[in-house]
Structure 1
Amino acid sequence: MPYAVNGNISLHYEVRGEGETLILSSGLGGTSGYWQPQMEYLSRRFRVVTYDHAGSGKSSRSVGARTVSQFASDMLAVIRASGAEHAHVLGHAVGGITGLQLALDAPGVVRSLVMGNAWGEADPHIARCFSVRMKLLEDSGLDAYIEAQPLFLYPATWISEYDRELRAKAGRMPEHIPSSLDLSSRVEAFLKFAPPPGDLARLDVPVLCLATKDDMLVPWTCSQRLAQQLGNGIFKLLPWGGHGSSETAPEDFEAALEAFYQPIGESTSNDCPSHS
């Protein structure tokens, strides 16, 4: 199994497909399996790199408190270890924020960025939701946290329909979810994320701020506001699917990606080697 190394952190990653490199970065849970619904579609267009965040999955576990910039440097380490100098980035929630931080920290590395149900600055509703989730974790334990997680991620009707699959998934989650300390510390780090407006306005990387209208965890207006602040931001609102719309409404999610990537592919096809 290939690993990237960033300081004392080992990061498990996998590569699939050919073409320009696209790195996928999941949300708070941090494991690459989140992107399974998109792998067939994306690997037809890109050389797809998936990885487990520090503290998650097969990467180093119990890593302690880390900054957003450290998570971004992890992403850069994976890109370089995979053999690429730059990459397109597709991130969900904090995974999208990590990609944005990398674009700010390492100009030229990020060719394009999709931020699914993410934010540029956490608003009171996001802080309230994470406060409830962290209190569940601290006061009632990991089982209660896992039991409640779908309530924040998916529409009620979807939860009802896929209850059996969700319970099976929950049974496997303790094997790869970050420790309680790691979860609480990274929530704190990403809630504090608020890059200077001037830095966002100067960013010339194409950024798709993709939101879902019924997202229970992150109000869609956060994505809209971020797109307005970015120098090259595009806002797209999906009608249904909750916070995990890439799982619940994959066709709509992939259609939004296709509309974003098509002109980018046309503009980069002549200046990007096949492995980067």
Structure 2
Amino acid sequence: MYFEVHGLTTPNAPTLVLSSGLGGAAQFWQPQLADLVEDYRVIVYDQLGTNRSPATLPSDYRIVHMADELLTLLDKLDVSQCHLIGHALGGLVGLELAKAQPERLTSLVLINAWSSPNSHTQRCFNIRKALLASGRKDIYLQMQALLLYPPDWIVANQDKLTKEEAHHLANFPDKNNLLARIQALSMFDIDPYLGDIHTPTLVIANKDDMLVPWQRSQILVEHMPNASLTTMEYGGHACSITVPTVFNRILHRHLNAFA
């Protein structure tokens, strides 16, 4: 997988691994990098089958496979322990890691994540799949913006979004890979194991998230022994992009507890 390492280079530097959502892109974390590199070694990566990590994903692809791929990368980089910060799908990867190899995680940050399917998010996935089947990649990207960002943010950033969507349209991901990743999200269910995950965990939820009901984060906190919840009133599903100053402050507050 394509990866980048930023920040501190000392062998014992505290390490952050940032794992993004359905898009799988390292670039997703650009609003956080400058704020983190002075104090941490920061690893970002393009998930397998996305962006600069080309691959053909099998139809039975699951979140556990994504977790295994990340563990392989961590072994390659000699990372024995890290803070895992995961947005949506990336949070699900973090939960799978905490279940399988808890000794690898100093802490876990779950951003607008979930532990099992829910009917609202499944409807959103169904619409995405229908748009892919129709061949309307441009409308798929417009729908994606509606799920990621608050309405007023979309209006205020229309020029930026138009340019980004043109770029994404020209570099649209492989449809079968995208469908395999959506299916992996739809099948994920770790509810029976939440009580066994003792990794210190910060759960961040946005009350205006249009993709994932924020109450799904409450479920995580209610069943994970060492989890706490921070709710944000504004920012949408991609709050790390729309309100990075607020988000970065919350993240630093969590990480400072381990300094």
Same fold (TM over 0.5): yes
Instruction: Give, in angstroms, the shift of residue 29 of structure 1.
Output: 0.4
Unaligned runs of 5+ in 1: 1-10, 266-276
Deviations 1:18-74 (A, max 9, x none): 121111111000010000000011212210000000111111233333211110011
- Give, in whole Å, the separation in 1 of the partners of 2:171 and 2:97: 25
Deviations 1:230-276 (A, max 9, x none): 121111101101001000011111111122111122xxxxxxxxxxx
Partner residue, 2:113:
118
1:150-171 CA-to-partner distances (Å, cap 9, x unmatched) read: 0111001100111111111112
Measure how far apart 1:122 and its partner are: 2.2
**Partner of residue 261, structure 1:** 255
For residue 231 of structure 1, what is the aligned residue in structure 2? 225
Aligned pairs, number: 254
Alignment of 1:62-73 (within 5 A): 62-65=56-59, 66-73=61-68
User: Helix, strand or coil: the match of 2:208?
Assistant: coil
Match among 176, 188, 191 for residue 181 of structure 1: 176
Could you tell me whether the CA contact under 8 Å between 1:85 and 1:109 is conserved in 2? Answer: yes
Q: What is the CA–CA distance in structure 2 between the aligned matches of 1:64 and 1:161, rounded to whole Å?
A: 39
C-alpha RMSD of the superposition = 1.4
Aligned to 2:6: 16
Q: Is the 8 A contact 1:57 1:175 kept in 2?
A: no
In 1: Cα distance, 2:36 partner to 2:77 partner: 17
- CA distance in 1 between counterparts of 2:172 and 2:92 reads 19
Give how far 1:175 is off.
Answer: 5.6
Report the Cα distance in structure 2 between the residues aligned to 1:174 and 1:84, rounded to whole angstroms: 35
Q: With structure 1 as the length reference, what TM-score do the two structures score?
A: 0.88
CA contact (8 A) 1:122 1:192 kept: yes
Q: 1:78 to 1:175 in 2, by over 3 A?
A: farther
Kept in 2, the 8 Å contact 1:214–1:242? The answer is yes
AA of the residue aligned to 2:15 = T
Residue 211 of structure 1: SS of its match in structure 2?
strand
Describe the SS at the equivalent of 1:235.
Answer: strand
Identity of aligned residues (%): 35
1:56 to 22, 25, 50: 50
Q: Structure 2 counterpart of 1:245, which letter?
A: C
Q: Which residue of 2 aligns with 1:4?
A: none
Is residue 150 from structure 1 mapped to residue 140 from structure 2 by the alignment? no
Give distance in 2, aligned partners of 1:262 and 1:84: 20
Check whether the contact 1:238–1:252 (CA below 8 A) recurs between aligned residues. Answer: no
Q: Which residue of 2 aligns with 1:77?
A: 72
1:35 aligns with 2:25: no
TM, length-normalised to structure 2: 0.94
The aligned amino acid for 2:238 is: G
SS at match of 1:55: coil
Query: What SS does structure 2 have at the residue aligned with 1:91?
Result: strand
SS of residue matched to 2:210: coil
Give the SS at the match of 2:73. Answer: helix
Question: One-letter code of the match for 1:148?
Answer: M
The match for 1:268 is none
Q: Does the 8 Å contact 1:154/1:243 carry over to 2? A: yes
Structure 1 position 178, deviation (Å): 3.1
Q: Distance in 1 between matches of 2:191 and 2:118?
A: 16
Gaps of 5+ in 2: none
In the other structure, the counterpart of 1:25 is: 19
SS of the residue aligned with 1:121? coil
State the SS of the aligned residue for 1:210: strand
